[in-house]
Chain A
Amino acid sequence: MADTLTSTFVSAPVSLWRRGINSLVTCAAAGSVILVLLPLVAVFGYLVYKGIGSINFAFLTQIPKPPGEAGGGMANAIAGSALILFLGSLAGVPIGIGAGIYLAEYGRNRFGNVIRFTADVLNGVPSIIVGVVAYGLVVLAQGNFSAVAGGVALAIMMIPTIARTTEEMLVLVPNAVREAAYGLGVSRWRTTLSITLRTATSGVITGVMLAFARVAGETAPLLFTTLGNTYWNWKINQPTAALPLQIFTYAISPYDEWHKQAWAGALILIILIVASVSAVRLVASRGMLKGAN
């Protein structure tokens, strides 16, 4: 390789042609940055522009009105999303963290690699497929759509994500900290929970919040599990409204009033997600320095 390089570079002193290409490429790269930022600005811009007008107290506290009638809100959808997320996290968070602990503390071997690989592959399964599976597991068994089914779908998506981020954080804890605990005669399980996990706490929480931010915006897995609801519902075995579902239903409807509310709902959703992603970044940059030193 050195020969061809030498002949290209040495025999032709930096010619106008080569410098021209260099500048062109720099422009192209900068241009692509602008082209990529454009939709980002456009999406956020429109969300604010179209959505801000419809967000008011009524929107945040009322349930939908029938099509054609003005007013109403997405309060039940926001609450429903929270309920489904909560249900999903009941299984998703402990199992995910447990799997992460296994990978970090007991899984530095071939079997652990199999689990690690499977988790990464699971992260790439389309969310609509997860919805179909949760439908088969829960909706068919129960006989109706429910928040629990939605929770199961979200849990299936949370587990591999949380497992890998938890592992990443635990591995960052220096071994000297574990050894200090072992040297005091502390048992392995106690060390893992009270020392290792405790040291990595802020990082682990970060990972969980990131998983929440990701699944909270998912619509596809909820389509055939929780179905949606135009009323308040706190019974976990009944269909429940969810914010992304509501946005979808309103967006594809023919009613202008609903379109406006779809924008408003989308704005709320994106604010919540951006807030948690930013908070996570802040915590991560400070928390890791605190814990891993």
Chain B
Amino acid sequence: MPGPQSVINKEVAVSRKADAGLLANAGNSQFADRVFSLAMLCCALCVLALVGLIIYELASKSSLSWRASGIKFFFQSDWDPVNEHFGALPFIFGTIVSSILALVLAVPLAVGVAVFITEMCPRWLRGALAFTTELLAAIPSVIYGLWAIFVLVPLLREYVEPWLAHYFGWTADFTHKLGFQGPFEGPPYGIGMLAAAIILAIMVVPIVSSITREVMTAVSQQQREAVLALGATRWEMIRTGVLRNARAGIFGGIILGLGRALGETMAVTMVIGNRPEIAASLFAPGYTMASVIANEFNEAPGDAYRSALIEIGLALFIVTIIVNILAQFLVWTVTRGTPARANG
């Protein structure tokens, strides 16, 4: 049997003769490289273009309304399309109140869930719990709305609101002195601000919870151990070793949740009652910026009407952008890198 060297020699000699310049025609592909990187750049620029497009569309289509009413648009509270009086204050009020209320309900729960999952939960349960909170985030808004109409609202109407009116109705005595309704006053329709706040809270919990979990996990183990070594109980360790360090990020998560609540449309539209009035009672129907656009855009007969709605849309867009930028920034300071995640 020929030795290995001669085998190799023979092989290589054959190859050199037959395949000299195997890839001689392969070229230098500089042109293709350039075209490719340009194409990828264009795709990336589309992202920037989309934002520009959105701003342009909203600004141009709302200019009619802006020129007609100016800044007063946002401070007037009569929404009277028939007579072409457009005041957006009720919607701003509705959006802000429903969102803040939702956060008040959601944040303690979300942080509680996050704390439980990261610090207290047995390991085998962790994945399952995390998955189920993720599932909550995956449920579409319209399904939450559907459930809210047929399950939540009757519940509020039959049980919760009468109970609240019974036990907390005395608050009305204080607010009457200040000149407005009590928070639990008025007929318990079920439909109204309270329903909207509750369903929004359910939708916001997963976002705040997952960001909180993320920033809590980002706090190094050494921080926890340092506090434990001083003799702290588990809660004290969580409070001083983890939550304090993750504060900025948790706050960012809350702001992100706010952003989501502000822009939430379908579920809110289905239970808020769609009445453009400012009321102090939680039982009263209301209206949000997103809801009025959803409900009235298609029926809006006239350029002035549509333009007013689009102006509301522009305001909503600007507010949510600012809120989201603030949130991203806060989360980034703790995790040192923007998480690639869709908020929705």
A-to-B contact residues, CB < 8 Å: 1-2, 5-6, 8-10, 13-14, 18-19, 21-22, 25-26, 28-33, 35-37, 39-40, 42-43, 46-47, 50, 94-99, 101-103, 105-107, 112, 114-130, 132-133, 135-137, 156, 159-161, 163-165, 167-168, 185, 187-190, 192-193, 210-211, 213-214, 217-220, 223-224, 227, 244, 247-248, 251-252, 259, 262-263, 266, 269-270, 273-274, 277, 281
A250 to chain B, nearest CB (A): 9
Structural contact, B317 and A122, CB atoms closer than 8 A: no
Which B253-273 residues sit within 8 Å CB-CB of chain A?
256, 259-260, 262-266, 270
Please judge, given known A-B contacts A120-B328, A127-B265, A189-B32, whether A32 and B40 are in contact too, CB under 8 Å: no
Which B86-109 residues sit within 8 Å CB-CB of chain A?
108-109
B95 to chain A, nearest CB (A): 11
CB of B142 within 8 A of chain A? yes
Structural contact, A214 and B144, CB atoms closer than 8 A: no
Structural contact, B50 and A270, CB atoms closer than 8 A: no
- List the A residue with the shortest CB-CB distance to B317: A129
CB neighbours (8 Å) of A36 from chain B are 109-110, 113, 133, 136, 205, 209
B259 to chain A, nearest CB (A): 5
The CA of A21 and the CA of B233, in the complex, are separated in Å by 9
CB neighbours (8 Å) of A32 from chain B are 108-113, 116
Structural contact, A125 and B321, CB atoms closer than 8 A: yes
Structural contact, A248 and B266, CB atoms closer than 8 A: yes
Apart from A1-B240, A30-B116, A189-B35, 20 more pairs, CB < 8 Å: A5-B232, A9-B230, A21-B235, A32-B111, A33-B112, A33-B116, A46-B150, A102-B41, A106-B37, A115-B47, A119-B47, A121-B321, A128-B313, A133-B54, A133-B58, A156-B50, A159-B47, A160-B50, A187-B32, A259-B150
CB neighbours (8 Å) of A25 from chain B are 235, 238
CB of B173 within 8 A of chain A? no
In the complex, identify which listed stretch (B5-13, B159-167, B290-298) lies at the interface while the others stay far away.
B290-298
**Out of A9, A224, A247, which one reaches B231, CB within 8 Å?**
A9
- List the B residue with the shortest CB-CB distance to A188: B33
B102 to chain A, nearest CB (A): 13
CB neighbours (8 Å) of B233 from chain A are 14, 18-19, 21-22
- List the A residue with the shortest CB-CB distance to B108: A32
CB neighbours (8 Å) of A98 from chain B are 39-40, 42-44
Q: Of B46, B48, B317, which is in contact with the most chain A CB atoms at under 10 Å from its CB?
A: B46
- List the A residue with the shortest CB-CB distance to B205: A36
CB neighbours (8 Å) of A227 from chain B are 298
Number of interface residues of B (CB under 8 A): 98
A257 to chain B, nearest CB (A): 14
CB of B278 within 8 A of chain A? no
Structural contact, A33 and B113, CB atoms closer than 8 A: yes
CB neighbours (8 Å) of B48 from chain A are 114-115, 118
User: Is chain A's interface secondary structure helix, strand, loop, or mixed overall?
Assistant: helix
CB neighbours (8 Å) of A214 from chain B are 138, 342, 344
Q: Of A33, A118, A136, which is in contact with the most chain B CB atoms at under 10 Å from its CB?
A: A33
The CA of A26 and the CA of B33, in the complex, are separated in Å by 58
Please judge, given known A-B contacts A95-B43, A127-B265, A132-B57, whether A122 and B51 are in contact too, CB under 8 Å: yes
Which B2-43 residues sit within 8 Å CB-CB of chain A?
23, 26, 29, 32-33, 35-37, 39-43
B290 to chain A, nearest CB (A): 5
Structural contact, B47 and A160, CB atoms closer than 8 A: yes
Q: Of A114, A133, A274, which is in contact with the most chain B CB atoms at under 10 Å from its CB?
A: A133
CB neighbours (8 Å) of A125 from chain B are 54, 263, 317, 320-321
- List the A residue with the shortest CB-CB distance to B310: A132
CB neighbours (8 Å) of A211 from chain B are 342
CB of B132 within 8 A of chain A? yes
Structural contact, A126 and B320, CB atoms closer than 8 A: yes
The CA of A5 and the CA of B140, in the complex, are separated in Å by 46
- List the B residue with the shortest CB-CB distance to A213: B138
The CA of A35 and the CA of B111, in the complex, are separated in Å by 12
CB of B135 within 8 A of chain A? yes
CB neighbours (8 Å) of B68 from chain A are none
CB neighbours (8 Å) of A9 from chain B are 230-232, 236
- List the B residue with the shortest CB-CB distance to A42: B151
Structural contact, A124 and B265, CB atoms closer than 8 A: no
Structural contact, A266 and B143, CB atoms closer than 8 A: yes
CB of B141 within 8 A of chain A? yes
**Out of A10, A29, A101, A244, which one reaches B40, CB within 8 Å?**
A101
A229 to chain B, nearest CB (A): 14
CB neighbours (8 Å) of B263 from chain A are 124-129
